[in-house]
Amino acid sequence: MNLLFGLGCLFISSGVVVAAQFQLPTANRAIFQRGAEEQFFVPTTGKEWMTGTFGCVRTDGSQFHEGLDIRCLQRDRRGEPSDPVLASADGSVAYVNRKPSLSNYGNYIILRHQIDGLEAFTTYAHLSEVRPDLKPGVQVKAGESIAVLGRTANTGEGISKERAHLHFEVNLFVSESFPVWYKKTFPKQRNDHGQWNGQNLLGLDPLEIFLEQRRLGAKFNLVQYIQSQPELCRVFVRATNFPWLKRYAALVQSNPTAQREGVIGYELALNFNGVPMRAIPRSASEAKGKAKYQLLSVNETEQRKNPCRKLVTKRGSRWELTTQGQNLLKLLTY
């Protein structure tokens, strides 16, 4: 392979190789100052800054928050937030919602990026204004202003001026078939956002990513980061042709036995949020049982630490996939 063309998303300029990385989506950089968390994260009313971070941080750990709530630095005369919101990486617009009444995210933007061979997405929510020219397909550069920070949401209680923040996510995408699957699975539920429904995007922890990028510099690699996360469980899915395998081929491992004998399904390692961190092809001789979806193992320490996605549950002495866990695998392989 020609070396220059093989470098993928690496950018070369005057001999310096710079890896594509995520940048902070506003001018707030307190995340990198020790002990300055309160200047960066906006907590839920009356709670600690931790409730503005990613993970099982809400309602005493039982509720999931899929992004970071980033504090505004600027206010206008009326006390409304006015910080520019910046594209976190080079990419293109995937989706824009300009009808705040249709989402608890209010006005929001989803950008699509190619990072270390993976299609990754970033989500910017509760915006007061979205740049008028933004629509799907428009290219953006890292650091480019795309919106104004705000506090839009369709929730009853809304977001107070005091709590105005940018809700920021880094996501992987589950399936193009989401709208069809959702309609069939939840016929009475509305879906105003097509495949850009939040249930079709799996969040990664942006705080960990920013800190790892800072620690490792150009050595940071998104595939390595994803695969270094703790594993919640292993599942086997009896399916061989689903979009995740193509979109996230960099997360698929090789298995010469299965490749020789014929692949009949995939063993998936899921993190606590259900992100398939790695997929291992399996042959008939390697697979047990006949079920379409099978739970192979559970990391009980991780489940105790991060139980809020409720993907697995213990019935008596046996671990099982919950309906939520099964739905995720059904959507993934639909």
Q: Which residue's CB is nearer to Zn ion, number 167 or number 309?
A: 167
Contact range with Zn ion by CB under 5 A, out of 112-120, 165-173, 226-234, 323-331: 165-173
> Residues 57 to 86: which contact Zn ion by CB under 5 A?
69
Q: Min. distance of Cβ 50 from Zn ion in angstroms?
A: 13
Binding to Zn ion, residues 280-309 (CB under 5 A): none
Q: Which two tokens stand for residue 105?
A: 């995210």
Least spacing, CB of residue 169 vs Zn ion, in Å: 8
Identify which of residues 69 and 212 has a Cβ nearer to Zn ion in the complex.
Answer: 69
CB 227 within 8 Å of CB 277: yes
For Zn ion, the closer of residues 89 and 166 by Cβ is 166
205 touches Zn ion (CB under 5 A): no
Is the Cβ of residue 44 or residue 177 nearer to Zn ion in the bound state?
A: 44
CB 111 within 8 A of CB 86: no
Nearest approach in angstroms of CB 1 to Zn ion is: 42
Going from the C-alpha of 136 to that of each of 92, 227, 296, the distances in angstroms are: 7, 30, 40
Least distance between Zn ion and beta carbon 126 (Å): 8
> From the CB of 93, what's the least distance to Zn ion, in Å?
21
Beta strands, E only, the chain = 11-13, 16-18, 55-58, 63-65, 68-71, 84-86, 91-97, 107-115, 118-127, 129-130, 139-140, 145-148, 165-173, 201-204, 233-237, 263-270, 276-283, 293-298, 312-315, 318-321
Cβ(223)–Cβ(212) under 8 Å?
no
Total residues interacting with Zn ion, rule: CB under 5 A: 2
Of 131 and 167, CB closest to Zn ion: 167
> Residues in the chain, how many?
334
Burial of 193 (0-12, 13-18, 19+ CB in 10 A): buried
Contacting range for Zn ion; rule: CB under 5 A; set: 82-90, 131-139, 162-170, 258-266: 162-170
Q: How far is the CB of 201 from Zn ion (least distance, A)?
A: 14
| Min separation Cβ 48 and Zn ion, Å | 15
Is the CB of 91 or the CB of 106 nearer to Zn ion?
106
Q: Using CA atoms, how far apart are residues 258 and 38, in angstroms rounded to an integer?
A: 50
In the complex with Zn ion, which residue's Cβ is closer, 154 or 257?
A: 154
The distance of closest approach from Cβ of residue 67 to Zn ion in the complex, given in angstroms and rounded to an integer, is: 5
Stretch that binds Zn ion, among 87-95, 113-121, 161-169, 208-216 (CB under 5 A): 161-169
Helix (H) or strand (E) holding 258: helix 256-261
The contacts found for 129-134 with CB under 8 angstroms, 24 or more apart, are 130/96, 130/98, 134/93, 134/96, 134/109
Nearest Cα to 18, choosing from 261, 208, 164, 213? 213
Q: Per CB under 5 A, which region of 166-174, 179-187, 209-217, 254-262 contacts Zn ion?
A: 166-174
3-class state of residue 323 by DSSP: helix
Q: Which residue in the set 167, 193, 278, 330 belongs to the binding site for Zn ion (CB under 5 A)? A: 167
Distance (Å, whole) CA 273 – CA 76:
37
Q: Give CA separation, 266 vs 68, 199, 328, 329, in Å.
A: 32, 22, 15, 11
DSSP state for residue 7 in the 8-state scheme: T
Q: Which CB sits closer to Zn ion, 167 or 282? A: 167
Closest-by-Cβ residue to Zn ion is: 167
CB of 155 to Zn ion, least distance (A): 11
Pick the closer one to Zn ion by CB: 71 or 113: 71
What are the residues binding Zn ion (CB under 5 A)? 69, 167
